[in-house]
Structure 1
């Protein structure tokens, strides 16, 4: 228990630094926006780029690993969407927001720092094998469901390619075969930016919690938070442990990836369609607060 708590404390400690800095006027909202922009537009893309150029990936594609994670994500997405329509009588777009909030993990702000704290460099390959396809799959699915037949392939491609984190992934994949020829001064520029991404992401997470707050009551966000923090990682754990075969570290990374709270992209998506904004912001805040306890639980289950 103590080891698990010591893994989680630095992560949530930095989240509280960000929250407290805004709460007690040590930082302005403009500064908070600036930190978030640094994380999404520079820090995380640099981290994606550096890791994809240097990491040693397995020769065979880990289909069982991907199926385990996205099978769990799809399961909670469907359940959350059905609850949205059948119980809360929300429209189809609000149902997509509810599903998005249950199935999309906060990988950039929470997942990477927490998983690296738990497993160290051993987590790099399985972690970035998920990150490389997580955003494209989730965003594409959500957009198609929200727009139906109106969803344009060109629009989908444009949104993905112009996303800063996807740009870092694409550039890393392009440069990867020529990584040995990259001049040293490039890494001396890239490394500090990439290293700053983790702590800045957690501070930005704390700032975002203060900004979004609680707007949609507790009932539905509590259900979605349960699906996100308990059901999603449980489904992934069962699939990764009992249906497919993979190393323990890969199982742990997939489960902790799924155990992360709802990501800020759920709020961004809701704001884009002007549907379910309060639901997304409340779920983001509530799931992040509850994840302090549920992540410790999952670390115990995984034996970290």
Structure 2
């Protein structure tokens, strides 16, 4: 148990530090957004570039992870849509927004720092796989579904063009492509560039966790019990089960990476979930879900680590 706390403790202490900084007034909540922008546009892309550039292409991106994680996440979308539409009898837009919460994990801000402690440099390769799934498959799919459900807010050609434009500007995909191109050249990174990129990449985990805490400060959960229960249980419990089912059909070869895939699916939903919800007027429930899932994840992540054998000895 102490070994589990040694892994989860620093994660939630950094989240708590960000929370306390904003709640105490030491940092204005508006100051969190630039920090998050730094992580998403610079620190994490630097880490992904370094991961790809310093390895052979067949080592840097595990396609068995991409397939298993992608299929498990798509299965979670199908389950969420089926439950909201046929059991709760709610509209397609609700199903689409809820699917964004249950099927897309916070791979960058919570999953990566935990994986870094467990798997070391392999955590970067794992994050590269999740970035491909979430950026190329999940986000475009759910974006199209949400806008299609929102009374045809945009013509389909306009919507598709918007998605393509977002993809070609996505810093994760750009850094993956740049790293892959460098690796294909077979030339080692010059030492000064490698050190600079490494220094930038090393800031990603702590700053990301601090941002999560600052974002959570001031959110309220009142009057959202049933929806929060669906979103939190779906993300923290059902999503990893869906990924586990997918891996029975499409196994991940490396046992360590198999553990990494399951563990990442058990992370809370992505921190930008409220921003996606804002597009459809559902930012309140989305923000509350991020808050509740992040709090609950302290216990569920600890339980997941115990189940995979961390601290068993």
Q: Which residue of 2 aligns with 1:143?
A: 143
Q: Deviations over 1:262-288 (max 9, x none)?
A: 1023222111x2332222111111111
Alignment coverage as a number of residue pairs: 303
What's the counterpart of residue 125 of structure 1? Answer: 125
- Cα deviation digits, residues 175-214 of structure 1 (max 9, x gap): 2223625433222322211111110000001111115443
Looking at structure 1, the residues matched to 169 and 93 of structure 2 have their Cα atoms a distance apart, in angstroms, of 24
Superposed CA RMSD in Å reads 2.4
2:252–2:258 CA contact under 8 A, matched in 1: no
State the partner residue of 1:284. 290
In structure 2, how many angstroms separate the alpha carbons of the residues matched to 1:61 and 1:125?
Answer: 6
C-alpha distance in 2 between matches for 1:245 and 1:191: 28
Q: CA deviation at 1:294?
A: 0.5
Change in CA separation of 1:215 and 1:80 when aligned onto 2, cut-off 3 Å: farther
* In 1: Cα distance, 2:48 partner to 2:125 partner: 11
Of 196, 207, 230, 1:200 maps to 207
Inter-partner Cα distance in structure 1 for 2:49 and 2:61: 20
TM-score (norm 2): 0.87
1:4 CA drift (Å): 1.6
Whole-Å separation in 2 of the counterparts to 1:250 and 1:36: 27
Q: Distance in 2 between matches of 1:49 and 1:81?
A: 35
1:277/1:60 CA distance change after superposition, 3 Å = closer
Spell out, residue by residue over 1:111-135, the C-alpha distance to the aligned partner (whole angstroms, 9 max, x if none).
1111111222244333422323322
* 1:3-48 residue CA offsets vs partner (Å, 9 max, x unmatched): 1221111111111110011111121123222211211121111111
The 1-side partners of 2:12 and 2:98 are apart by 25
Structure 1 residue 249 displacement after superposition? 0.4
Correspondence for 2:177:
170
Unaligned segments of structure 2, at least 5 residues: 149-154
Mark the CA change 1:59 to 1:109 in structure 2 (over 3 Å): closer, same or farther.
closer
Distance 2:34 2:252 in 1: 43
SS at match of 1:303: coil
Stretches of structure 1 lacking an aligned partner (at least 5 in a row): none
For 1:108-123, what aligned pairs fall within 5 Å after superposition? Answer: 108-123=108-123
Matches within 5 A, 1:28-43: 28-43=28-43
Q: Counterpart in 1 of 2:152?
A: none
Larger CA deviation: 30-39 vs 5-14: 30-39
TM-fit CA distance, 1:57: 4.5
